[in-house]
Chain A
Amino acid sequence: MAGRQNPRRSGALEKEIVACLAAARWPLTPAQVQTQLGGDLAYTTVLTTLTRLHTKQAVVREPRGRAYAYSLAVSQADSEAGLIAHQMQKLLAEDVDTASVLSRFVDTLDDDSEKILRDLLGRTQDPR
C-alpha cells in the first residue's frame, strides 16, 4: 500500500482500532492490531492508542503472554444498545424522512451494475 500522505489524527486512529477490534471475533494483541491495520503505523503508536482507549474504558484487556490482548468493552447496557441499534434500523427501513438525513456508505445494486462492478474491481486485483 502506498504510504500515507498525512499522518492520521488520533481520533481517526482510535476509530480504526475500535473498528478493528469490533471486526475481530477474539481479543487481539497490539502486534495483531498493527498487522491488521496495515500501512506504516509504529507499534508504539498502536500501543499508546490502545492504552488510551483502555483508560477511557472503551476496551478491556486480558493478559496474554508478556502483553495484553484487547477487545471491545461489552458495556453493561449492551442489550439496550442493541435495542437502540435495531430501533435505528427500523427507522431507516420504514421512515423516509429519517433515511433521507443519513448518508449511507453504499446503495443497493441492480444485476447489471453488479456485473460491471465485478469487472472493474477484477481488473484492479490482477497486477497486484
Chain B
Amino acid sequence: MTALMLVLALVPVVVGANAGWSVTRPARAMPPALATVLLTVFALTVALVTGMLLCLTAYVSTVSMFPALHPADWNSPYLYRECPIPAGVGLGVGLLAALLMTRALVCVVRVAAGLRRTSSVAAGLPEVAGLSIMDDETVVAYAVPGRCSRIVVSTGLLRLLDGPGRAALLAHERAHLRHRHHVYVQLARLAAAANPLMRPVSRAVDAAVERWADACAAREIGDPVVVARAVGAAALAGAGDPAGPGLAMGPGPALAAGGGDVVERVRELLEPTTRRRTVGVRLGLMIMACWASGVVVVAWVHSVVELAEIAFRTGRAT
C-alpha cells in the first residue's frame, strides 16, 4: 500500500517532468484558445498538486523530529510503519517546499508591482478610443492590461504597415485585452515559479496567447495573409535594428520568447495545420490524473493519521 501511494505521489512529478515534450509540442496542434486554457490549467494543477504533496510529505515525516509542531497523538509506531520516510528526507522536502512557495510569493508581488507601475504610467498617456500613439521611429506595439487598458503603438510601426496591416495590428492587440490574455500568461508564470518543471509550459502559454490573438485578428480582418504580413513586417523591421530601443529590449532572458515564435505564428497563418482533438483529450486526462493521484494520497495519509491516533490512544489505554 505504501509503495503504491509513493508511486501515486510521483504521478504529478513525472507528468510535470515530461511536460516539455509530451504537452508543449503537441499543444501547437490545438486551437490556440483551447491550448491556452488547458496549458494554464495543466501548469497550475501540476504546481499545486506537487506543492501540496511536498508539504504533506514534509509534515507527516517529521513527527519524530519536531513533535511539538504535530498533534501529540501522531507520535505512534503505526505512523512510522505506514509512512517510512526518514525525518532527514522529510526536512529536505520541507525546505524545498518552502523555497518553491517563496518563489511563488515573490512572483505574485513582482507581477502586482509591474501591473501597478504600467497602469499608472499608461494612465498618463493621451489616448483616443483606447489607443495611444507614441511619436517615435522605433517599431513597437503593446497592450497594457488593467484598469486603464491601452494599446500603445509607435508611429514607426504604423508607418511600416499599410491600412489593412494596421487594422490587423490593432485587432491583435485588442484581442489580447478583450480575452484577458495577461491573466493566463501570469498564472502560468506563477505556476512556473512554484514549480520550475512548468517553465516550458509557461513559454507555451506565451506562444499560444499570441496565436490566439493572431487568429482573432485574422477572423476580424477576414484574411490571415494580411495578419501574417503585418506580424512579419514588424518582426523583420525590429530584427534589422537590433540596437534600437524598440524591439531589441528583451524582457530579460527568462521571458524572451526568441524568434522561433514569430516564424511559427506566420507559418500557422499562412499554412493552417489540421487540428487534432486528441491532444486536448490527452492533456485533460493528464490534468485529471494529477488531481486524482493527489486526492487519493491525501485521503490515504488522512486515514493513516486517523489510525495512528487510534493506535496511540489504545496503546496508552492498555
Contact = CB atoms under 8 A, between A and B. Distances in A.
Nearest 6 pairs between A and B by C-beta? A113-B259, A99-B251, A97-B114, A109-B259, A109-B239, A23-B158
29 contacts: A15-B130, A16-B163, A18-B131, A18-B133, A20-B166, A72-B133, A80-B124, A84-B125, A85-B152, A88-B152, A96-B251, A97-B117, A98-B114, A100-B189, A101-B115, A102-B118, A104-B140, A104-B142, A105-B169, A105-B231, A106-B234, A106-B262, A107-B262, A108-B258, A113-B263, A114-B239, A114-B259, A117-B263, A121-B233
Nearest to B173: A105
A123 interface: yes
A18 B158 CA distance: 10
Contact of A15 (B129, B233, B261): B129
B75 interface: no
B235 A84 contact: no
Contacts of A123: 270
Nearest to B234: A106
Contacts of B84: none
A77 interface: yes
A67 interface: no
B140 to A, nearest CB: 7
Given A56-B128, A93-B245, A108 B250 contact: yes
Interface of A: 1-6, 8, 11-12, 14-16, 18-20, 22-23, 36-39, 53, 56, 58, 72, 75, 77, 80-82, 84-85, 87-89, 91-93, 95-110, 112-114, 116-118, 120-121, 123-124
B163 A37 contact: yes
B290 interface: no
Nearest to A58: B128
Given A100-B114, A102-B143, A105-B169, A19 B225 contact: no
A12 B171 contact: yes
B228 A121 contact: yes
Nearest to A14: B129
A93 B136 CA distance: 15
B88 interface: no
Nearest to B225: A124
A29 to B, nearest CB: 15
Interface in B234-272: 234-236, 238-239, 242, 245, 247-252, 254-263, 266-267, 270
Contacts of A72: 133
